[in-house]
A = this chain, B = another copy of it.
Amino acid sequence: MLTKYSGCTLGCDKFLNEIKNHGLYSLLFQGNFGIERENLRVDSQGKLTKTKHPGIFGGKLDNPYITVDFAESQIELVTPVFQKIKSVHSFLENLHDIVSVELKDEYLWPQSTPPYLKSENDIKIADFSKEKAGIEAMEYRKHLQNIYGKKKQILSGIHFNFSFNENFLRKSYELTKQKQTYGEFKNGVYLKTARNYTKYRWLIVYLLGASPAAHKSYLNECKANFEKLNDSYSLKYGVSLRHTACGYKNKEEFFVPMNSLENYIDGIKKLISENKIIDAREYYSPIRLKGKDNKNLLDSLEKDGIQYLEIRTIDLNPYDKTGFDCRDMYFLHLFLIFCLLKKCDGKKDCIFFEEDSINANLNQEVVAASGHTRLRIMDKNGDKDAEVWANEILNEMEFIISAGDNINENYTESIKFQRKKIKYPENTYSCRLIQDIKKSSFIKFHLQKAQEYLNISRKYQFSLKGYTDMELSTQILIKAAIKRGISFEVLDRKDNIVRFKKHGRIEIVRQATKTSLDTYISFEVMNSKLVSKLLMSEKGIKVAGGEVFYSKRQALEAYERFAGKPVVVKPNSENFGIGITIFKNSDYIEDDYRKAVEYAFRSGGPILVEDFISGEEYRFFVIDSKTAAVLKRIPANVTGDGKHMISELVEIKNNDPLRGKGYRTPLEKIEIDEAVKLYLALQDKSIDDIPEKNKIVYLRKNSNISTGGDSIDCTDSVPEYFKNKAASAAEAVGTEICGIDMIIYDLERRSSESYAVIEANYNPAIHIHTYPYQGRNRNIADIIINKLGF
């Protein structure tokens, strides 16, 4: 039986044993993670921009993912809560990508200390004048400006929000004698963790601190203490300017005890009543206790208890695109587990007095300002060598890991990663930064990093990290939603079903284009080629002629009617091109026809035998009775270079990161299968042939993107006549969103003699238009989002 679990008398090892023995160890390592990250926007010279927060991101108080902090040019990225560190990191990266690529000639400044500031006037307080409840937000910022000045307020950083797994807490509570309520127990867990975090946070500042310098345009009073380094002033032996007196701090050191929740609440109330702060959020502590309703924090804590912790001592790491290396995240998580488990030396000692607080603050301060000297860290028993103490802590953290069987190796790695920084301080971000600034300059180095990250964001912008197992169309739609501050929730990952919410509006979407905009019956209509062609014909749309057959016998008997004509044999129900045989020429014999019929019938339902129409194949994406994009689809092919074999050319083409498998990338890899070999053989070619330079070799008959075809955006070049026909075709089948496949044999002749609609697709992919092989990207996702009423 676990006793006084939330107290301090149990040793770390004993506690851990209890957890292990009751099967709670894996739950201990579960938790909920969320990140908020601030970045200043800079121009191509590394100057703070004066532009407005981009309108594309919607209202500043409205977008739960992308907002602003103190200044108009200080973007704040906020992730939802995730159960996995990898997920929260990926999401942060997505937010970074989304914002980066939207900025016009601007960059996200990857450093906690500000870029070049001509004068304090360049810093504009965030403009909330158009927002509901915006007045309060602006007044609060004016207050901060008056007290702290604007330069300090734009120091940027990362907040890491964390809670333990609720099941872990409940089950742990059940192991105690339950003299206290579950709520009291839970508060105790978070209070102990927070106290230990306060005490040991100097180590986090040392390991993660990444602001050893500030641009020379930063605070004058700081220059005096620092050393000049190119265009910046640096803390020669320091780690994090943000955690020094020149950093983001209250005017004086406050002591708010955390021995009980009442203590904490009373402490903050006292500061407010003494007019030292105007609000709980103005208390800049290294760790905050958070509740259900953080707008009314103190009341909420009192009523519902502590829900999670907010860790605030993380600098932006310029060496990571996201500003937060994933290894540091794993480490921080383990560190918080350590803070929970860490035994106290005795009951009395575990209570945190003002003296302990002063020591802890002092330790942070000296580490921040001169962490790279041979430091001694204050303990209540005197001072201690920092490196020795750091290694002690890491040993204890390693001990925690060693207690598990299947522990995620990221935790082990994270310890090794930090040990290297302790043993060889040149590996710390702070040391590396000093070197890099020396080599170029403060502005140049950070700007170059920002540009580098932007290039990566652009290159891989098509995918949504953490969701790459879902279809690319879905990833794109989610991304568009995030950009506009529409919150989302994946309801069924495998089926690509996502729920979007904003302002009380709720829409569920499957595979990006299956929405509430369309009716159930429009789907059924499109699913029947027979019916959709009938409806289109009625509206004067030219469709490929043909006949439906319900039995093999019927279809085979009809051979004479088709013999000598180019035809397509295919199932009546759409099925991703499966079951389709194309006789482009009239030279097929009855046996070929029979095989094609049998192949088509393998899909179950009735089959169609349609006129084959030669011409180029286009996909029209129609939404809201308008053609939004047109794609020419070209069968899988390679272009010769006079050197490589066809098989090699395929491999080279497949190496493009835009090509993948299973609709997760803009294009699909070309698979050299029997069909390809056969098709080459028909052209008297083989995969070992070396095509001459610039010679295009087609590898398949069909032009589906899904079998490696190329997509070429033609939205601007295809005449309105055909776009209107596609829109009418969509209208005929009664759909809001669909893909119309059309063969056009003569773009110049605008008559029913020059085209034929092949089919209406009820589930058109959007990624092929968003990221075509050639031509302009078409932002279909935004049109869908608009049409959904967001």
Contact = CB atoms under 8 A, between A and B. Distances in A.
B522 A516 contact: yes
Nearest to A606: B494
A326 interface: no
Interface string A484-495: 000000011011
A523 interface: yes
Contacts of A515: 519-521
B550 A497 contact: no
Contacts of A535: 491
Query: Of A509, A510, A519, A605, which is in contact with the most chain B CB atoms at under 10 Å from its CB?
Result: A519
A508 interface: yes
A316 to B, nearest CB: 37
Contact of A520 (B492, B494, B516): B516
Contacts of A530: 491-492, 495
Contacts of A244: none
Interface in A465-515: 491-492, 494-495, 497, 507-510, 514-515
B514 A524 contact: yes
A497 B531 contact: yes
A734 interface: yes
A141 to B, nearest CB: 37
B734 A491 contact: no
Nearest to A518: B520
A605 B496 CA distance: 12
A492 B531 CA distance: 6
A528 B514 CA distance: 14
A12 interface: no
Nearest to A736: B520
Nearest to A495: B528
Contact of A534 (B491, B520, B522, B523): B491
A516 B510 contact: no
A768 interface: no
Contact of A524 (B510, B525, B606): B510
B514 A510 contact: no
Interface in A677-734: 734
Contact of A522 (B494, B520, B524, B527): B520
A629 to B, nearest CB: 20
A762 interface: yes
Given A492-B530, A520-B520, A524-B497, A734 B606 contact: no
A523 B518 CA distance: 11
Copies of the protein in its oligomer: 2
A508 B492 contact: no
A61 B522 CA distance: 31
Contacts of A521: 507-510, 514-516, 518
B550 A525 contact: no
A691 B518 CA distance: 54
Nearest to A525: B508
Nearest to A737: B520
Query: Of A520, A531, A535, which is in contact with the most chain B CB atoms at under 10 Å from its CB?
Result: A520
Contact of A497 (B514, B518, B520, B525): B525
A524 B494 CA distance: 13
Interface in A599-633: 605-606
Interface string A348-384: 0000000000000000000000000000000000000
Query: Of A508, A517, A527, A530, which is in contact with the most chain B CB atoms at under 10 Å from its CB?
Result: A508
Given A518-B520, A734-B508, A550 B605 contact: no
B525 A520 contact: no
A605 B525 contact: no
B508 A514 contact: no
Contacts of A494: 550, 605-606
Contacts of A507: 521
A507 B525 CA distance: 11
A531 B497 CA distance: 8
Contact of A516 (B509, B517, B519, B606): B519
Interface string A525-539: 101101100110000
A194 to B, nearest CB: 33
A523 B514 CA distance: 10
Interface string A319-340: 0000000000000000000000
A218 to B, nearest CB: 50
A708 B270 CA distance: 75
A531 B495 CA distance: 10
A514 B519 CA distance: 9
B531 A491 contact: yes
Contacts of A531: 491-492, 495, 497, 508
Contacts of A523: 520, 523
A528 B497 contact: yes
A359 B495 CA distance: 78
A139 B528 CA distance: 48
A574 to B, nearest CB: 13
Nearest to A529: B492
Contacts of A509: 521
A321 B704 CA distance: 56
B734 A516 contact: yes
A519 B531 CA distance: 19
A289 B516 CA distance: 51
Contacts of A572: 495
Given A516-B734, A519-B516, A524 B495 contact: yes
A605 B492 CA distance: 12
A201 to B, nearest CB: 39
A23 to B, nearest CB: 12
A742 to B, nearest CB: 22
Contacts of A492: 528, 530-531
A293 B33 CA distance: 75
A530 B509 CA distance: 15
Nearest to A509: B521
Contacts of A528: 491-492, 495, 497
Contacts of A762: 520
A523 B526 CA distance: 15
Interface string A735-778: 00000000000000000000000000010000000000000000
Interface string A414-444: 0000000000000000000000000000000
A144 B380 CA distance: 118
A198 B495 CA distance: 68
A491 B495 CA distance: 30
A168 B475 CA distance: 57
A524 to B, nearest CB: 4
Contacts of A519: 515-520
A374 to B, nearest CB: 52
Contacts of A516: 519-522, 734
Contacts of A491: 528, 530-531, 534-535
Given A495-B524, A509-B521, A517-B520, 8 more contacts: A491-B530, A491-B535, A495-B528, A495-B531, A516-B520, A516-B521, A518-B521, A520-B762
19 contacts: A491-B531, A491-B535, A494-B605, A495-B524, A495-B531, A495-B605, A497-B524, A497-B525, A497-B531, A508-B521, A509-B521, A510-B524, A514-B520, A514-B524, A515-B519, A515-B521, A516-B522, A517-B519, A518-B521
Sorted nearest first, the 4 A-B pairs with minimum C-beta distance are A518-B520, A516-B519, A510-B524, A491-B531
